[in-house]
């Protein structure tokens, strides 16, 4: 989980043992956080990204995230260089 000023961003399916940050670390755009993983029932490594308005997760509401100025549709695959 990454807390920003506007939302909490969850990154899921990261490669086990690959975390480069610890709780309380500050991260910036371009910082390496972890490697892309392959947890769950999947055929290839991938990362799920979701923004919520607050913690705890069970009380949170989703926050729209824009990529290249657009809100991707559900299930759209984004390739980030």
Query: What distance in Å separates the CA atoms of residue 24 and residue 35, rounded to the nearest whole number?
Result: 19
For residue 13, give the DSSP letter: S
pLDDT of the residue at 24 = 93
For residue 1, give the DSSP letter: -
Q: Is the pLDDT of residue 77 over 90?
A: no
pLDDT in tens, 20-31: 999 999 999 889
Provide the percentage of residues in the chain whose pLDDT is more than 70: 98
Tokens encoding 34: 């972890």
- Residue 62 phi, psi (nearest 5): -65, 145
What average pLDDT does range 44-73 have in this prediction? 89
State the average pLDDT for the chain: 89
């Amino acid at each position: 989980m990454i807390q920003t000023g506007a939302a909490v961003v969850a990154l899921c399916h990261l490669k086990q043992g690959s975390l480069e940050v610890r709780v309380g670390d500050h991260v910036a755009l371009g910082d390496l956080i972890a490697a892309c993983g392959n947890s769950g029932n999947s055929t290839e490594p991938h990362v799920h990204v979701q923004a919520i308005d607050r913690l705890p997760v069970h009380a949170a509401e989703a926050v729209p995230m824009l990529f290249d100025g657009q809100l991707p549709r559900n299930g759209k695959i984004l390739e980030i260089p």
